Each structure stands twice: as structure tokens, then as C-alpha cells.
Amino acid sequence: MSQNNLVTAVNVNNNRKYISDAVNGNKDQLQWCLDELDKMNLNKQKNSISRGDVAFLIAVCLKEKPKSIMEIGTWVGRSAYSMALASDANIYTCDSGNNMFVDIEGYSDRIHLHPNTHSTRFLKTAEYHRQIHRNTLPKFDMVFVDGYHDDAEDIFDACEDSFTLIAHDYFDVNTLEPCKGQSIILKLAEYAIAHKHKYSIYPTSRNWIPKGYPVYDFGGVNACCGMIKVSKING
């Protein structure tokens, strides 16, 4: 199936229902995580992930309860800290830019960081793996991509038999055109189809930018993150 056909087949109602269920099932914990993140004062950094997208990451972590998270695109660490607040997972993260990561006591010990390394090397270079952690990298059950990594096979190889991938910039927030987040999700879907794996796509909507999908009695959640859930089960 071509990417154009995949886009046509994708239904944003999947994400509406997922967000509503995740928020309403974890509202108190979600609010606590957001309040704690506000205390870290990371939201003033230019180009950092939005509050609505942070709320989505937290809601997914609370619902899915990941054990090991891979992040491509660290920046100051706002998304990494969001996932650390909302889960017990170790988070392995890298970025191609300068080291902007803010070290915050009490949470940064679970964030295994290696900045200044191009993110496309994250999955393949054994020497790099040793730099970010003393032991062999785990298999990941959750991935957050906020960078230009688009190798679907590498991601499949690095993940558990069932995993969740969230990609930032599903649409460009300025032009509202499809962006790098949509590209990697569709490439994962194409790979899953080719290998007869099961998957479900949870797209965002252009109408959610910039405030997010409005959840009653909570506020906007998820401005421009798409999600795909994959099961490596043939048939």
C-alpha cells in the first residue's frame, strides 16, 4: 500500500478516543506530572515541545506503562522528563545538536544521555551504545521521535514484539503540511504491511494545532504528535 493510500485510510477518531480514554483514566496523575514539569521551568526554551504534546506523552506513558523508552531528539530534556515523571522506564536519548540538556536532580539518573551525536547513528553504532550505558541496550517498548530518523527497519529491530511509537511534527505547525513525524509513521506502517505485522495509526489533526485536542474538564492534549502501535505478529 502506498503512503498516499495509507494517509487516506487513517482515521483521526482513533486518536480522539485514545486521548479521551488515557486522560479520563489518569486525570489526577496527569495533572500532577504537568505540575511537576512546570516546576522544572523548561517550557521557556525556544522550540521546546508544547504543553499539549507533553500532556499527550504523559498520558500515553500512564496508559501504556512502558519499561524502556528510546527518544531521538533530546534538546533541553522536556519530553524526556515528561516520560520520566509518568513512568518507571529508563529513557535512552540522543540529539544531533549541542548539549542543551538540563540536569535536574531526582529524575536525570533515569535518562541516559549522549548528546552531540547524530540521531541516525543511535540504533546501529555499538561504540555509541557503550557510551550511553554500561550494559547492552534493552529492547524498547516505547519510542519517541522528535528528529529526522526514518529507518523503519532499525526501529523494528530495536523494539519489543509489541511497541508504541510517537512522532512529533506530524504536521508542520506553520504550514500545516505533512511533516517528518507523519513520514516515519507511514514508513513504519509500510514496513509492517510488508512483513505482515499488525498495526494501528493514531494521527493528529491540523485542527488541533496549536492548542491540542480539547478534552472536557482538562484542556488541550496533543497538538502535533502522531502515534502508531505495532505488534510483530504475522497473520
- Top pLDDT among 148 and 1 is at 148
The three cell numbers locating residue 156 = 523494528
Distance between CA atoms of 10 and 201, rounded to whole angstroms?
7
Give residue-wise pLDDT tens across range 1-48: 656 666 666 788 999 999 999 999 999 999 999 999 999 888 666 678
Give residue-wise pLDDT tens across range 126-137: 433 343 343 467
Structural domain boundaries in the chain = 3-231
Exposed e or buried b per residue across 103-138, where buried means at least 16 C-beta atoms within 10 angstroms of its C-beta: ebeebbebbbbbbeeebbebbeeeebbeebeeeebb
- Assign domain 3-231 one CATH number from 1.10.3720.10, 3.40.50.150, 3.40.50.300, 3.40.50.12280: 3.40.50.150
